[in-house]
Structure 1
Amino acid sequence: MKKRVLLGMTALLLSISLLMAQEVPEGVITAFKRGSSKELSKYMGDKVNLVFQGRSTNLAKQKAAAMMQDFFTENKVNGFTVNHQGKRDESSFIVGTLATSKGKFRVNCFLKKMKDQYLIHQIRIEKINE
């Protein structure tokens, strides 16, 4: 009986912690999987910091979406795998691998909570040398 209760409580705590950690909207992950800047822009804040291969640029939402479209056009997306995701206080993040026609890229996407929703404030994309 004690084992059942302990097992049940462990499962409940694990479920709660997993739900709490998933503050990244599923649409962000779907947008990367599809290579859709239009879908990704729905989750962008008014200003977005884009970092491509170590070069950082702060852009308005529309320009950031246009740069992401250029990236997706140049690098046809074959898939996206989430390697890690988490949250802390009013921010969350995902780290994933973007498979494209021109190789694999490590993607770090950082979000901040604004007006009861999480919005992207930084996207970092770096080529993985294999």
Structure 2
Amino acid sequence: MKRLLLTSVLFCSFLSLRAADITQITNAFKEGNVSSVAKIMAKEADVIVPGSAKKYSGSEAVAKLDAFFKTHKPAGFQVVHHADKKDNGFFTGEISAADGRFRVNIIYRVEDGKAVIQSIKIE
């Protein structure tokens, strides 16, 4: 029984080391803080927002997101689903804004234990 417990604890510890920390992304979306997003954006990223869908450079992607946040000021953000793999992951969330709710899908890759955004889809 002790071996089973020890094995379970070690396995769970190993899994937690592999997961990327998405807190910086979720906090940025809660606050509508594009300067925080800019720090974790890939050099190129797919951005899909209402009225636009394209692959942008990192700075253009941040500008597109900034325009969205100015039009739809976030009042909150909640993660609905999150899945991690070895070197990448994704999560789905929901932005609460004064003019409605928006579903958000973010795909990221893991670099040095940190999530780097590759794709943002807001609908």
Please classify the TM superposition score into its range, dividing by the shorter chain length.
0.7 to 0.9
Contact 2:49–2:68 (8 Å) recurs in 1: no
Unaligned runs of 5+ in 2: none
Deviation at residue 62 of structure 1 after TM alignment: 1.0
Count of matched residue pairs: 122
Alignment of 1:1-130 (within 5 A): 2=1, 10=8, 13-14=11-12, 16-17=14-15, 19-20=16-17, 22-53=19-50, 55-114=52-111, 116=112, 117-126=114-123
Contact 1:24–1:92 (8 Å) recurs in 2: no
Deviations 1:51-107 (A, max 9, x none): 124842111111111111111110011100011112112111121111011111111
TM-score, structure 2 as length reference: 0.83
Mean Cα deviation higher: 23-32 or 102-111: 23-32
Segments of 4+ in structure 1 off by > 3 A? Answer: 4-17
Identical columns (%): 26
Aligned-residue CA RMSD in angstroms? 2.2
TM-score, structure 1 as length reference: 0.79
